[in-house]
Homo-oligomer: A and B are copies of this chain.
């Protein structure tokens, strides 16, 4: 299939596919006489792996390692587990951070009683962390 169809079936953007090829995440496909990229099932499933991993929040470098493992089925899968677990930990950390942020923001917004900017407690609170209760960042 041509790049447009690959994009359609995987949900990836055409430019993204070419980008992945450029950074070596996808192998260079064969070319037709007119220099068009020609893809097969192996490309499709590799791209699906990449897109799904990206949707799950893995970085390109993590995906590179995961693909490498996927290309070497005889290796131990411990590395995959380590990457995924460390990613999960980062997600959990990020959630905890955002929850602190959310609480602090809600508290700050709650202080506004309307009126003039000069009297606004929201603007005041943005100017100085001392009005914060938590340690958001």
Q: Which of A67-111 contact B (CB under 8 A)?
A: 69-70, 72-78, 80-81, 84-85, 87-88, 91-92, 94-95, 98-99, 101-102, 104-106, 108-109
Q: Tell me if A1 counts as interface (CB < 8 A to partner B).
A: no
> What band does the interface of chain A fall in when counting residues whose beta carbon is under 8 Å from B?
35 or more
Interface SS, A side = helix
Q: Tell me if A45 counts as interface (CB < 8 A to partner B).
A: yes
Q: How distant is the Cα of A77 from the Cα of B122 in the complex, in angstroms?
A: 9
Copies assembled: 2
Among B49, B69, B85, B128, the residue within 8 A (CB) of A52 is B128
Closest chain B CB from A119 CB (angstroms): 8
Q: Give A residues with C-beta under 8 Å from B.
A: 45, 48-49, 52-53, 55-57, 66, 69-70, 72-78, 80-81, 84-85, 87-88, 91-92, 94-95, 98-99, 101-102, 104-106, 108-109, 112, 114-120, 122-123, 126-129, 136-137
- Rank and list the top 10 A-B pairs by shortest CB-CB distance, nearest first: A73-B118, A55-B137, A77-B120, A49-B127, A77-B117, A88-B105, A69-B117, A75-B117, A95-B98, A91-B102
